Amino acid sequence: MDDVVVYRDRLDALERTWRVWAELGTDLTEDQWTAATRCPGWDVAAVYAHHSTFPRDMDGPLPPSMSSSSEEPVTAVEALRRFNAPGGLAYAAAEVVADRAVSGAAEAGRGELAERFAVRGPGAVRRLRAAEATRVAPWGGTGVVVELVEAVRLVLLEATVHLLDVQRALGRPPLVPPQALSDTARLLAEVAPPVDFIEAATGRSTRSPLPVLR
């Protein structure tokens, strides 16, 4: 399957997933916003504040293309492996990310958190649809560059994992668009060491390569 088709399908899945976030956030009570999640120290509002930075920040001009850069773009798999390696940003920046999620929830109104998905989300998707799948851009503060088709895959994983966090915290069934689930499951399987994953998944080894993300 070529990059254009994969890019389109991932954007479709991301758009549907952000729509679930938007609909869920429109009618939460204060008790539900402050419900504890399985992310230590984060309530539902903090998870919303954390992930909603994606639609908020992506609903704006894309960064200049780095296609002419000498730096080779990495895949979503490689970006996650580097991020989650011992001593990687998943560990070094964990406290900062957690603090920002909590403070972001305190600063933003509940309506704003839901609006980021309802309004900014569709705007971000429209901007991404107008860009080429192979456009190269920096991936946050990780120091690596990725093609947009891979960047969207990373955002889709974040959207899926954290939506499940929220739904579990609220006692809701795990209702996530099927394409988001399948793409996220494939990505996580690809991040795992392949031999260890195959042997554990087929019952040939009791040594699990999971979790692959912090």
- Given a cut of 60, whether residue 163 has pLDDT beyond it is yes
Mean pLDDT of 123-147: 92
Quote the Cα angle for 66-70-71, to 5°.
75
Neighbouring C-beta atoms of residue 14, cutoff 10 Å: 28
- Given a cut of 60, whether residue 50 has pLDDT beyond it is yes
The secondary structure element, H or E, covering residue 154 is helix 148-169
For 107-125, how does the pLDDT look when each residue is reduced to its tens digit (9 = 90+)? 999 999 999 999 999 999 9
- Given a cut of 70, whether residue 45 has pLDDT beyond it is yes
Mean pLDDT of 77-102: 89
Supply the pLDDT for residue 134: 94
CA dihedral 111, 43, 10, 121 (to 10 degrees): 10
Distances (CA, A) of 95 to 75, 98, 102, 103, 166: 26, 5, 11, 12, 20
Supply the pLDDT for residue 129: 97
Supply the pLDDT for residue 70: 66
Q: Quick one: tokens of 109?
A: 């109104």
Evaluate whether 9 touches 123 at the Cβ level (below 8 Å). no
Q: What is the CA radius of gyration of the chain?
A: 17
pLDDT-derived band at 148, boundaries 50, 70, 90: very high
- Given a cut of 70, whether residue 68 has pLDDT beyond it is no
At a CB cut-off of 8 Å and minimum separation 6, what does 68 contact?
none
Mean pLDDT of 12-22: 98
Evaluate whether 101 touches 51 at the Cβ level (below 8 Å). no
At a CB cut-off of 8 Å and minimum separation 6, what does 48 contact?
21, 25, 33, 105, 113, 114, 166
Q: Is the pTM of this model over 0.75?
A: yes
- Given a cut of 60, whether residue 196 has pLDDT beyond it is yes
Supply the pLDDT for residue 71: 81
- Given a cut of 80, whether residue 10 has pLDDT beyond it is yes
Supply the pLDDT for residue 141: 72
pLDDT-derived band at 214, boundaries 50, 70, 90: confident
pLDDT-derived band at 21, boundaries 50, 70, 90: very high
